[in-house]
Chain A
Amino acid sequence: MNAGPGGGLRRFVAIAIVLAAVAAIAPKPWYGTDRGTYETVGRQLVIPDCSELHCFRVLIAWTLESLPGPSLLKWKAYAVLANAGAAMAVGSLCLVLGLSPQASIYATWLAAVGFGSFYTVFDCYTSDPLMFLLGPLLTAELLRDRRGRSTGLGAVGVLAKEFAAAPLWIHTLWSALRRNWDAALRSLLAASTVTMVWLALHIWLVVSHNYSYGGSASANLAGGGFVARWYSLVGPRGAASALFVEFGALYVLVPFGLLRASRELRLLAVAAIPAAVALAYVQQPDRALWNFHFLVIPIAVLALDHLPAWCVWLFIAIFALANLRVGAQLPSVPPALMSLALSTLMAGAAAAVTMFKRPPALVTTLA
């Protein structure tokens, strides 16, 4: 496959077409979504006395609702384009990390057909697709030592959702783990600035317009955050099941991918743990964790890319099939249990081959 710029554009279009098709045939969410809140935020800009967490996530609503056209169509289009962009950004990050062009293409498609991507084209009234895009984009920019651009993007991104600050904090910790104190200090300034923008937005809305978190479990930090509420609702089996379908077979690949990963990539994974724990604590954990797909997927691909191409594409197809059911909620797709089991078996086989063949370790060369 062509990994050049023209190939990249074709891939982006192909992914967008796939996601658009899924968005078109995905059923309407049968549960209460955040649509009403986002539409009102978009129309009014500020809703005095708003007591919903989503009222603070203004950027996407302000932007989309100011554009002409039906609301649902705009949000679906945004979800499709942002997720397609996110997949491309994951591929680009793979190249920065030193993965082969072929591996980056695998990673691109795994991101495109993953749980988060499909879920957000099904339930599109959310800031998540932009976060899925910003995670790999900001990380790649930071690894290229482009802090100014990352800070600017992050500062805009936090107006959509708090996760946009996470890549900057991850990079700060990563630089510290590498004992690169100068880089850590500079990234700390970037992360702190972006977080300050987020905090300033919240304070402005609370003080000037009487916004509140309305007793949201996410704001109850001492009482277990959202994770405690979520666990009390779904129970241990439901929690385990929800967490598993998030990454599915990728969970099997990650430990073996880590064996091949470069020190830089391993440290990046370690540096992401505090942010992942924090976000899983204050958000719905099964959805929050997909924000870190930009690290999980490159690591998982390291345990795949030495397999024959047809084998990897088959794995990606089965992985997509599972996510069409659990993410996009397509009722016409076979039950996810079968595809999840099959892709997990394939991942196990890939892991065994990785152990047996011991392919060379990844080398990440950074500026």
Chain B
Amino acid sequence: MLTRRAVVLALVVEGFVYLGMGIVVADVRAHKHVEEEHGVNARGFRGTLTIHKTPAERRVAIVGGTAAYGYAVDWGTSLGPALQNRLEQGWRRKHRVGEVITVINLAEPGAGAASYAGTLRHYSYLAPDVVCIYDGYAAPESTAPLGRDRSFVFRKAGYLPILDDLLRERASWSVPPAGVDPELQDRNDAVNDAAHNPSCEGPSAAYCAAMEETVSWGLTQGMSVVVAVPPYVSARHRLQQESLAAALARRFGSSPRFQYVAVDGSVDLANRGLTSDGVNLNASGYEAVADRIVDPIFDAVHQMTSAR
């Protein structure tokens, strides 16, 4: 039989355990609160969390940085729901009776292309059928300030604690984006200079390699991959993307599961109705992007279904 002292000690220990459990419960509730707004769900990505994929479900995973995340918009008006609404249009549904298409957004504010393959690897348990790489304007090696990977719990268990960040007002989605990679900003003296041409053979070699690695990883996992290029932010960005398109076509062009699509003219970043700061899109901007990329994504989904 325990002594009275031991009983009190055990109760004190249990008190601390309860405190820890209370913090976990509060953290879970905090996720539920922020995931419909600017924040992330318990697994660290945007939108309501659904782990289990039903047999009839076809899952599209968006990977990218700030542009894909939708820094300036709530979840409901970001790229994920805009794309999903279009994929679920009635005229499309009639071609796939009983099928459900869901879109998950794994993007992280500030993340560069070098992180995309790792992100897909980490979230492979979500079993996406189609990967949509919606790249942004960050440098390839750019990492998300206060990103999810700095959490030991996230790296080991997949759960992202956010309570501490919320209390300190330093959640990753609330940090203003770093802006456009200087390498992509136009420089009058260098834009036509071959040595400074941001091509895959030049300064953008690391970027292109990272994009190729991401595409390659998706294809080897049996997924369809759609590389969607956001609206050009500069002439150098256009040059970089044209070079990337050529590089990707050379390596993956023969694969029926690979597609490349540039949003380009569908969204003009100078149009203040689509973006407030010339870079980050608003709800209308994402609607326009979704309009542009929905067909290739739908084809990719349909292709995956046919392949089964």
Which residues of A are in contact with B by a Cβ distance under 8 Å? 47-49, 182, 185-186, 188-189, 192-193, 196, 199-200, 203, 206-210
A49 touches B52 (CB 8 A): yes
B49 touches A203 (CB 8 A): no
Residues of B within 8 A of A49 (CB): 49-52
Residues of B within 8 A of A193 (CB): 14
Q: Out of B8, B49, B52, B157, which one reaches A185, CB within 8 Å?
A: B8
Q: Measured between C-beta atoms, what is the minimum distance from B44 to chain A in Å?
A: 13
Q: Out of A48, A182, A207, which one reaches B52, CB within 8 Å?
A: A48
Residues of B within 8 A of A192 (CB): 11, 14, 18
B28 touches A207 (CB 8 A): yes
Q: Measured between C-beta atoms, what is the minimum distance from A150 to chain B in Å?
A: 14
Report Cα–Cα, A182/B28, bound state, in Å: 37
**Residue B24 lies at the interface, judged by CB distance under 8 Å to chain A:** yes
B50 touches A185 (CB 8 A): no
B51 touches A196 (CB 8 A): no
B11 touches A185 (CB 8 A): yes
Q: Measured between C-beta atoms, what is the minimum distance from B80 to chain A in Å?
A: 17
Contact mask for chain B residues 41-62; partner A; CB cutoff 8 A; 1 contact, 0 none:
0100000011110000000000
Residues of A within 8 A of B7 (CB): 185-186, 189
Residues of A within 8 A of B49 (CB): 49, 210
B51 touches A186 (CB 8 A): no
Report Cα–Cα, A210/B10, bound state, in Å: 31
Contact mask for chain B residues 5-44; partner A; CB cutoff 8 A; 1 contact, 0 none:
0011011001001100100110010000000000000100
Most chain B beta-carbon neighbours within 10 Å: one of A47, A48, A210? A210
Chain A interface secondary structure, helix, strand, loop or mixed?
helix
How many contacts A-B (CB < 8 Å)?
Answer: 49
Report Cα–Cα, A163/B51, bound state, in Å: 30
Query: Which residue from chain B places its CB closest to the CB of A181 in the assembled complex?
Result: B4
Report Cα–Cα, A182/B21, bound state, in Å: 27
Residues of B within 8 A of A206 (CB): 28
B42 touches A188 (CB 8 A): no
What are 25 contact pairs spanning A and B, CB under 8 A?
A49-B49, A185-B8, A185-B11, A186-B7, A188-B11, A189-B7, A189-B14, A196-B14, A196-B21, A199-B18, A199-B21, A200-B21, A203-B21, A203-B24, A203-B25, A203-B28, A206-B28, A207-B28, A207-B159, A208-B157, A208-B159, A210-B49, A210-B50, A210-B51, A210-B52
Extra A-B contacts (5), CB below 8 Å, given A189-B10, A196-B18, A210-B49 = A185-B8, A189-B14, A207-B28, A207-B157, A207-B159
Residues of A within 8 A of B194 (CB): none
A210 touches B14 (CB 8 A): no
**Residue B167 lies at the interface, judged by CB distance under 8 Å to chain A:** no
**Residue B2 lies at the interface, judged by CB distance under 8 Å to chain A:** yes
Report Cα–Cα, A47/B50, bound state, in Å: 11
Residues of A within 8 A of B21 (CB): 196, 199-200, 203
Q: Measured between C-beta atoms, what is the minimum distance from B151 to chain A in Å?
A: 14
Query: Which residue from chain B places its CB closest to the CB of A207 in the assembled complex?
Result: B159
Q: Measured between C-beta atoms, what is the minimum distance from B174 to chain A in Å?
A: 23
Report Cα–Cα, A22/B11, bound state, in Å: 46
Residues of A within 8 A of B14 (CB): 189, 192-193, 196
Residues of A within 8 A of B11 (CB): 185, 188-189, 192
A185 touches B28 (CB 8 A): no
Query: Which residue from chain A places its CB closest to the CB of B25 in the assembled complex?
Result: A203
| Interface hits, B230-257 → A, CB 8 Å | none
B52 touches A47 (CB 8 A): yes
Report Cα–Cα, A182/B8, bound state, in Å: 10
Contact mask for chain B residues 155-166; partner A; CB cutoff 8 A; 1 contact, 0 none:
001010000000
Query: Which residue from chain A places its CB closest to the CB of B14 in the assembled complex?
Result: A192
Most chain B beta-carbon neighbours within 10 Å: one of A48, A186, A207, A209? A207
Q: Measured between C-beta atoms, what is the minimum distance from A31 to chain B in Å?
A: 26
Query: Which residue from chain B places its CB closest to the CB of A50 in the assembled complex?
Result: B52
A48 touches B51 (CB 8 A): yes
Report Cα–Cα, A192/B19, bound state, in Å: 13
Residues of B within 8 A of A189 (CB): 2, 7, 10-11, 14
Residues of A within 8 A of B42 (CB): 207, 210
Given contacts A48-B51, A49-B52, A207-B24, contact A196 B17 (CB under 8 A): yes
Query: Which residue from chain A places its CB closest to the CB of B50 in the assembled complex?
Result: A49
Residues of A within 8 A of B18 (CB): 192, 196, 199
Report Cα–Cα, A48/B53, bound state, in Å: 9
Residues of B within 8 A of A47 (CB): 52
Query: Which residue from chain A places its CB closest to the CB of B18 in the assembled complex?
Result: A196
Residues of B within 8 A of A200 (CB): 21
Report Cα–Cα, A182/B7, bound state, in Å: 10
Report Cα–Cα, A140/B88, bound state, in Å: 59
Residues of A within 8 A of B2 (CB): 186, 189
Q: Measured between C-beta atoms, what is the minimum distance from B49 to chain A in Å?
A: 5
Report Cα–Cα, A207/B160, bound state, in Å: 10
Residues of A within 8 A of B28 (CB): 203, 206-207
Residues of A within 8 A of B157 (CB): 207-208
The 8 closest A-B pairs by CB, nearest first: A48-B52, A48-B51, A49-B52, A210-B51, A192-B14, A210-B49, A189-B7, A49-B50
Query: Which residue from chain B places its CB closest to the CB of A47 in the assembled complex?
Result: B52
Report Cα–Cα, A207/B25, bound state, in Å: 9
Report Cα–Cα, A251/B18, bound state, in Å: 39
Q: Out of A48, A182, A196, A210, which one reaches B4, CB within 8 Å?
A: A182
Report Cα–Cα, A148/B10, bound state, in Å: 14
